[in-house]
């Protein structure tokens, strides 16, 4: 083996499979079936274990290697008791440090409004992205990681003389965020709403989750979604009502089987809801129907 800097290498010692220590002052290598450590400043080496393919731990205290019967093992760098890592077998090994991101926090642009947040994530409406030539420029809805400050665009919305699209509710749970997006048509009348679930680690929508939907057409019709709830698995439930031909309410849920309606009701006015008090705890969604408790199990 040779060691040194490019253009200035010197013959170091007979052996193979060299591995640098983290401080750059020692090498572990293999010779005659032994894992040996040796300082670059001293000629004498130390046998630490029978084996091959040594790899220093990031803190320099231990060496991983392939021992007899190809078992993955670890030994103190200075020599000592050898421990086998389960029943893992292999031919080579590498030891990488754990990634420890620096907590930088979310640095959101001006005119940004935080819609919901957890210990790890902020979901915000960024009005600063509006185009200069339009007072109805797009509003971008972003997911910001508290630990790294990384921002991801989830979706956007825009308003104008003919209509308006935007997010009216946002809920965080586990590694998911659920958004209620609403589209209102001022020109032809009517509106629609949808629940979409995103993975906060990627900023991408999760097709198997969400999907609750409401829609009605014409100036005389109105529909709304409210009371959105979600659990850590990304299962959701939402209260929906429409005003034509009569006031109709629904509790819609989305889980493994997909989006579906679990309760309906009709009423004569918009003053109060027949379906109310929507909650989700674990896999159990609960609500009241004209004051009577109801529930459904998500799966």
CA distances from 123 to 42, 101, 230, 240 (A): 57, 20, 15, 23
CA distance 12 to 15: 9
- Checking if the pLDDT of 129 tops 70, the result is no
pTM score, two decimals?
A: 0.62
Rounded average pLDDT over 74-86: 92
- 183 exposed, middle or buried (CB, 10 Å; 0-12, 13-18, 19+)? middle
E strands within 21-174? 26-31, 34-39, 45-50, 52-56, 62-66, 71-76, 83-89, 112-117, 121-126, 139-145, 151-157, 163-173
Share of the chain above pLDDT 70, in %: 90
* Per-residue burial over 127-165, b = 16 or more CB atoms within 10 Å of its CB, e = otherwise: eebbeeeeeebbbbbbbbbbeeeebeebbbbebeeebbb
Quickly count: other Cβ atoms within 10 Å of residue 174's Cβ.
13
Share of the chain above pLDDT 90, in %: 49
Question: Residue 263 — very low, low, confident or very high, per pLDDT cuts 50/70/90?
Answer: very high
Instruction: Give the sign of the dihedral formed by CA 79, CA 85, CA 90, CA 92.
Output: negative
- Residue among 180, 165, 72, 45 nearest 116 (CA): 180
Which secondary-structure segment (H or E) carries 295? strand 292-297
SS3 (DSSP) at 50: strand
Residue of 127 and 62 predicted with greater confidence:
62
Minimum mean pLDDT range among 42-46, 114-118, 177-181, 209-213: 42-46
For the sheet with 83-89, list strands across it: 52-56, 62-66, 71-76, 83-89
Rounded average pLDDT over 98-107: 64
- Angle at the Cα of 145 from the Cα atoms of 171 and 233, rounded to 5 degrees: 40
- Residue among 195, 180, 190 nearest 216 (CA): 190
Q: What is the pLDDT of residue 151?
A: 83
Q: What is the pLDDT of residue 3?
A: 82
Comma-separated ranges of CATH 2.40.10 domains in the chain: 15-89
CATH number of this structure's domain 15-89: 2.40.10
Q: What is the pLDDT of residue 40?
A: 82
Instruction: Give the sign of the dihedral formed by CA 268, CA 272, CA 274, CA 278.
Output: positive
Q: What is the pLDDT of residue 6?
A: 81
CA distance 149 to 165: 27
Q: What is the pLDDT of residue 111?
A: 74
Supply the DSSP symbol for 271: S
- Residue among 194, 195, 241, 250 nearest 222 (CA): 241
Quickly count: other Cβ atoms within 10 Å of residue 210's Cβ.
25
Question: Residue 103 — very low, low, confident or very high, per pLDDT cuts 50/70/90?
Answer: low
Question: Residue 162 — very low, low, confident or very high, per pLDDT cuts 50/70/90?
Answer: low
Comma-separated ranges of CATH 2.40.128 domains in the chain: 157-297
SS3 (DSSP) at 117: strand
Residue 33: φ, ψ to 5°: 85, 5
5: CB partners within 8 A, 6+ apart: none
Structural class in CATH, domain 157-297: mainly beta
- Checking if the pLDDT of 88 tops 50, the result is yes
């Amino acid at each position: 083996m040779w060691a040194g800097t490019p253009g200035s290498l010197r013959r170091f010692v007979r052996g193979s499979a060299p591995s640098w220590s983290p401080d750059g002052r020692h090498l572990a290598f293999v010779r005659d079936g032994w894992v040996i450590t040796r300082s670059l400043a001293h000629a004498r080496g130390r046998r630490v274990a029978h084996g091959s393919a040594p790899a220093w731990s990031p803190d320099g205290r231990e060496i991983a290697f392939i021992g007899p019967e190809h078992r993955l093992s670890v030994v103190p760098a200075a020599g000592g008791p050898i421990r086998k890592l389960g029943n893992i077998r292999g031919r080579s090994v590498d030891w990488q440090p754990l990634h420890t991101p620096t907590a930088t926090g979310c640095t959101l642009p001006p005119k940004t409004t935080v819609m919901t947040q957890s210990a790890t994530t902020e979901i915000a409406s960024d009005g600063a992205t509006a185009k200069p030539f339009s007072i109805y420029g797009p509003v971008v809805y972003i997911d910001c990681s508290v630990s790294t400050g990384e921002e991801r665009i989830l979706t956007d919305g825009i308003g104008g003389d003919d209509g308006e699209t935007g997010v009216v509710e946002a809920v965080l749970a586990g590694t998911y965020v659920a958004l209620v997006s609403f589209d209102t048509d001022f020109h032809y009348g009517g509106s629609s709403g949808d629940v979409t679930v995103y993975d906060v680690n990627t900023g991408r929508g999760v097709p198997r989750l969400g999907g609750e939907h409401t829609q009605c057409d014409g100036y005389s019709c109105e529909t709304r979604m409210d009371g959105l709830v979600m659990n850590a698995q990304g299962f959701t439930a939402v209260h929906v009502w429409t005003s034509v031909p009569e006031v109709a309410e629904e509790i819609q849920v989305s889980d493994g089987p997909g989006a579906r309606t679990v309760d309906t009701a009709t009423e004569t006015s918009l003053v109060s809801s027949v379906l109310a008090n929507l909650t989700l705890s674990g896999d159990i969604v609960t609500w009241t129907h004209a004051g009577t408790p109801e529930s459904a199990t998500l799966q």
